[in-house]
């Protein structure tokens, strides 16, 4: 049975039982406690936490959620049960049914015959576990389902008690295991061997609230939840391995083709050596995870989600090289996994070109990293050998890994080839310290959820009516007041308060558009609204200051949007759509929106693209956007179903969850069609001019365009025109002649600077003979140690190199320092004879640097540094003399 059929059977089973089918959320959600969605229940957290009432008919739902877990990336492939990306099929009950229903529904799907929509698993091969004192669940399994008592095992809190790891919902759980047979391990059930007995489904009976503590059960149970809920998770990949009768999750229809592709590319064979099998599995697992992350809008970078993606991709590339690959590999692996995953995720097809482009760019960058890392390792190895040692320091190996992205296994391999070892004890120590820091940082971020329970009644019973698409003023009733997180009945002049109205014309921040500003007026009462935020996509919260009078619950009030603010914001928002459409015309469909910000007169647009835009491309984008303004295109909004919107070609944002009914903003027919809930002008001409300021990088594979709109664009163009006019007058040229005239002046300036530098160098070298006269002999070594005034580090290097060459026939050391403002650049150079005698420039600058508050480094024959303590120069020279005299 193919994986997409396993998914379909699961969904159909629960839909037929009255559950609402909920599409998978994006892997990226607006949740400060999560890097990625890591469990099937994550999108349902507001309902389990009691922040919102579930909107599902019958109080039940089912989903197959995309999940990513990356805490132990190094363990992937070592065992054959875990994936970084996986699909969690789940059914959820919010007070509708509890233990009996969850157990019966799961058992029916697993054991019903194929012709009845089930998976047809042999009931005799299924075992279950329950929590130690959960007699109720054990009795249901034995008395109602018919599982023999000997196949029902009781386990402790660490295995069979669930919580999110932080204060909140918790409860016992019951897990279902499949016996894969004696060839996989010893008899005795999951309590004895969880390799032979494979966990396929976890039924969580969410009925308690836990307090502070850790995941291992060191927390207090505070009491029962208002409703008893069910959260279950069935591992799609594990069930696929069983139904497809393969050894593990890596050999199913989704991942095995990637392993086959890796065999073809590398020449290695899967199944021959454990260490190679781990690499094959890393390639298959990481290729799928990387592809799904890029699909959901993540791009490689050096922090956050982008760092995880980059790390996964680099592990793929490195594993392929260790298996024998010599050229580019990532595109082939990613292309293969897209083929296997598209039947379950059709949206992959529309993003294929973009995903491959991101992958190819990242691989190209990493191959350069490998090249530079190899050079750094060679230098390190040479230093180790020259010192007579045979072990590369663990600190140096860790720096190669952490700072330069150079894999430790490559360092080990190259060290062995050079006849060296690596101090892995020190490397492991520094790696453990880094992980501890990362975990501490992650734990610090994993705080309790922001308490939005104060808004719950309004969210569920009095959602805000927004009428601001058509009107900027209107009558409203104050139905809620919140101050310092607490509901209050009134507020007085000078108070800052959150005001909840039954209806409002003020736009709440979303979709990149900032919230409206305005006033709330009732007789002598005036409140200035500085921001409007949205809670649970249903409730508008007006952040306001009471300027005069007082406000209280039930008060009738006039809501007034700041019309100038709204006009500027709508200009910018519509301008963003024009820029997006122009961008896709110039760059093609792979330039996908990755975020935006619109405020009056200004817009910022982020998009996924790997290359820097040229001046010509920016000029064309600006021209297309302003041509759309000039054409006075109609801006229409259409309320329709999500399916119809997609048929129209409307573009959606990554990470955004849309309901069944959506709002489409159409500009000039096919020119621009996007899903958007923001406010817009009525025609493109109202945007006014659009002035593109430029574009920049905001991470690997992500770019940003910034622009002005409306009167702000006009002011920008006016300033530029005035500047050009002033320059033309100063240079006695016509404005159109400015580029050539400025280029000519720049070339003349560069030539003059080069001539000045040549003269300075000649002067320095002319003084070299005088400096040699200051040489002193210490033991068998000649030392030239001189302080100069106002000489740059680059000029010091030129002078030191010349002096070293003049002294090449003897054992000599040159040490020069300069007082250049509040900086002390310094350099050391050693002749070949001095280096042979063990005098290394790098050691000398380290010694000198200690006295001038600086650091430095380099090669044995020349090293450079900089400090900030002028008073320590003489002491530094004295310390170097001591080094020479003590030899």
| Tens digits of residue pLDDT in 708-762 | 999 999 999 899 888 888 888 888 888 787 888 888 888 888 888 888 877 877 7
Could you report the per-residue pLDDT of 222-281, keeping only the tens digit for each? 888 878 999 999 999 999 999 999 999 999 999 999 999 999 999 999 999 999 999 999
Half-sphere exposure (CA, 13 Å, Cβ side) for 619?
Answer: 3
Q: What is the mean pLDDT of the chain?
A: 89
Rounded-to-integer distance, Cα 628 and Cα 685, Å: 8
Fold classification of 453-559 is Elongation Factor Tu (Ef-tu); domain 3 (2.40.30)
Look up the CATH architecture of domain 768-885. Roll (3.10)
CATH 3.90.25.10, applies to 3-251: no
Query: Can you tell me the distance from the alpha carbon of 144 to that of 138, in angstroms, rounded to the nearest whole number?
Result: 10
Binned at pLDDT 50, 70 and 90, residue 437 comes out as: low
Nearest to 225 by CA among 179, 268, 167: 167
- The tens digit of pLDDT for each residue in 368-401 reads 777 777 778 888 888 888 888 888 888 888 878 7
Confidence grade of residue 217 (pLDDT, cut at 50, 70, 90): low
Is residue 447 pLDDT above 60, yes or no?
no
Q: Evaluate whether 439 touches 72 at the Cβ level (below 8 Å).
A: no
Please calculate the CA angle 221-224-226 and round it to the nearest 5 degrees: 145
> Residues annotated as binding site?
573, 577, 676, 680
* HEC assignment per residue over 157-208: HHHHEEECCCCEEEEEEEEEEEECCHHHCCCCCCCCCCCCEEEEEEEEEEEE
* pLDDT tens-digit series, residues 498-538: 999 999 999 999 888 999 999 999 999 999 999 999 988 88
Q: What is the pLDDT of residue 440?
A: 58
Q: What is the mean pLDDT of residues 104-108?
A: 97
- Looking at 74-83, 342-351, 475-484, 828-837, which range is the least confident one? 74-83
Say how far apart CA 589 and CA 126 lie, in whole Å: 49
DSSP H stretches of helix in 631-737: 642-648, 710-731
* CB burial readout 510-524, b (16+ within 10 A) else e: bbbbbbbbbbbbbee
Residue 442, pLDDT > 80, answer no
Distance separating alpha carbons of residues 74 and 358, to the nearest angstrom: 23
pLDDT score at 444: 46
Name the residue ranges covered by the structural domains of the chain. 3-251, 254-370, 389-445, 453-559, 566-719, 768-885
CA pair distance 707, 716, nearest whole angstrom? 10
Confidence of residue 445 (pLDDT cuts 50, 70, 90): very low
| Domain at 566-719: CATH architecture | 2-Layer Sandwich (3.30)
Provide the pLDDT for residue 348: 93
The binding site for Zn(2+) comprises 573, 577, 676, 680
């Amino acid at each position: 049975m193919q994986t997409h059929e396993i998914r379909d059977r699961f969904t159909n089973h629960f839909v037929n039982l009255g559950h609402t089918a909920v599409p998978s959320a994006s892997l990226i959600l607006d949740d400060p406690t999560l890097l990625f969605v890591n469990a099937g229940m994550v999108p349902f957290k507001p309902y389990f936490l009691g922040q919102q009432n579930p909107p599902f008919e019958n109080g039940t739902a089912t989903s197959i959620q995309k999940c990513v877990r990356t805490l132990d990336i190094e363990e992937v492939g070592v065992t054959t049960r875990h994936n970084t990306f996986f699909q969690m099929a789940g059914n959820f009950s919010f007070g509708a049914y509890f233990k009996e229903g969850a157990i019966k529904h799961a058992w029916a799907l697993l054991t019903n015959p194929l012709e009845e929509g089930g998976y047809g698993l042999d009931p005799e091969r299924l075992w279950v576990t329950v929590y130690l004192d959960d007699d109720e669940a054990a009795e249901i399994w034995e008395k109602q389902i018919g599982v023999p008592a000997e196949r029902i095992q009781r386990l402790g809190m660490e295995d069979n008690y669930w919580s999110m790891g932080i204060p909140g919902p918790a409860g016992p759980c019951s897990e279902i295991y499949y016996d894969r047979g004696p060839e996989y391990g010893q008899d005795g059930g999951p309590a004895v061997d969880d390799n032979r007995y494979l966990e396929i489904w976890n039924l969580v009976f969410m009925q308690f609230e836990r307090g502070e503590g850790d995941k291992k059960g060191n927390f207090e149970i505070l009491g029962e939840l208002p409703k008893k809920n069910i959260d279950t998770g069935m591992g799609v990949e594990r069930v696929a391995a069983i139904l497809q009768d393969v050894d593990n999750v890596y050999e199913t229809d989704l991942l095995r083709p990637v392993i086959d592709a890796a065999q073809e590319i590398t020449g290695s064979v899967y199944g021959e050596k454990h260490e190679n099998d781990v690499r094959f599995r890393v390639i298959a697992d990481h290729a799928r995870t990387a592809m799904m992350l890029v699909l959901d809008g993540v791009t490689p970078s050096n922090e956050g989600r982008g760092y995880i993606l980059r790390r996964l991709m680099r592990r793929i590339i490195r594993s392929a090289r260790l298996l024998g690959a010599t050229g580019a590999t990532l595109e082939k692996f990613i292309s293969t996994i897209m083929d296997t995953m598209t039947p379950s995720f059709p949206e992959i097809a529309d993003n294929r070109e973009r995903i491959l482009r991101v992958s190819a760019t990242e691989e190209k960058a990493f191959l350069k990293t490998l090249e530079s890392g190899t050079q750094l390792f060679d230098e390190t190895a040479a230093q180790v050998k020259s010192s007579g040692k045979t072990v590369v320091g663990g600190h140096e190996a860790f720096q190669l890994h952490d700072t330069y992205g150079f894999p430790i296994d490559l360092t080990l391999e190259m060290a062995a080839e050079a006849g060296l070892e690596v101090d892995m004890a020190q490397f492991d120590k520094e790696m453990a310290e880094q992980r501890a820091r990362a975990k501490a940082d992650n734990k610090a971020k994993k705080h309790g959820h922001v308490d939005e329970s104060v808004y719950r009644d309004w969210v569920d019973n009095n959602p805000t009516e927004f009428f601001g698409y058509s009107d900027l003023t209107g009558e409203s009733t104050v139905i809620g007041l919140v101050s310092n997180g607490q509901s209050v009945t009134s507020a007085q002049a000078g108070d800052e308060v959150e005001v909840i109205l039954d209806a409002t014309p003020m736009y709440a921040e979303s979709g990149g558009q900032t919230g409206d500003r305005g006033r709330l007026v009732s007789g002598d009462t005036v409140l200035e609204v500085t921001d409007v935020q949205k809670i649970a996509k249903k409730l508008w919260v007006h952040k306001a200051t009471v300027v005069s009078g007082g406000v209280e619950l039930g008060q009738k009030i006039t809501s007034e949007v700041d019309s100038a603010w709204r006009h500027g914001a709508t200009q910018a928002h519509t301008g963003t759509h024009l820029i997006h459409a122009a961008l896709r015309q110039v760059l093609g469909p792979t330039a996908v929106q990755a975020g935006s910000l619109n405020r009056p007169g200004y817009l910022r647009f982020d998009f996924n693209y790997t290359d820097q835009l040229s001046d010509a491309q920016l000029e064309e984008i600006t021209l297309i956007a302003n041509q759309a303004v000039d054409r006075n295109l109609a801006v229409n909004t259409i309320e329709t179903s999500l399916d119809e919107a997609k048929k129209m070609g409307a573009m959606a944002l990554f990470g955004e969850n849309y309901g069944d009914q959506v709002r489409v903003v159409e500009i000039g027919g096919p020119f621009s069609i996007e899903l958007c809930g923001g406010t817009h002008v009525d025609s493109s001409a109202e945007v006014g001019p659009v002035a593109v300021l430029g574009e920049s990088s905001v991470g690997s594979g992500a770019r940003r365009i910034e622009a002005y709109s409306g009167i702000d664009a006009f002011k920008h163009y006016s300033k530029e025109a005035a500047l050009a006019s002033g320059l033309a007058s100063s240079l006695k040229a016509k404005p159109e002649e400015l580029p050539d005239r400025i280029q000519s002046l720049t070339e003349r300036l560069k030539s003059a600077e080069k001539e000045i530098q040549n003269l300075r160098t000649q002067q320095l070298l002319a003084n070299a003979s005088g400096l040699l006269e200051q040489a002193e002999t210490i033991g068998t070594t000649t030392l030239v140690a001189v302080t100069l005034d106002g000489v740059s580090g680059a000029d010091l290097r030129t002078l030191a190199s010349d002096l070293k060459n003049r002294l090449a026939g003897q054992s000599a050391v040159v040490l020069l320092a300069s007082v250049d403002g509040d900086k002390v650049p310094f350099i050391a150079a050693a002749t070949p004879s001095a280096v042979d005698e063990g005098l290394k420039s790098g050691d000398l600058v380290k010694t000198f640097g200690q006295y001038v508050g600086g650091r430095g480094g380099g090669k044995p024959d020349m090293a450079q540094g900089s400090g900030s303590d002028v008073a320590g120069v003489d002491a530094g020279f004295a310390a170097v003399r001591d080094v020479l005299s003590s030899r």
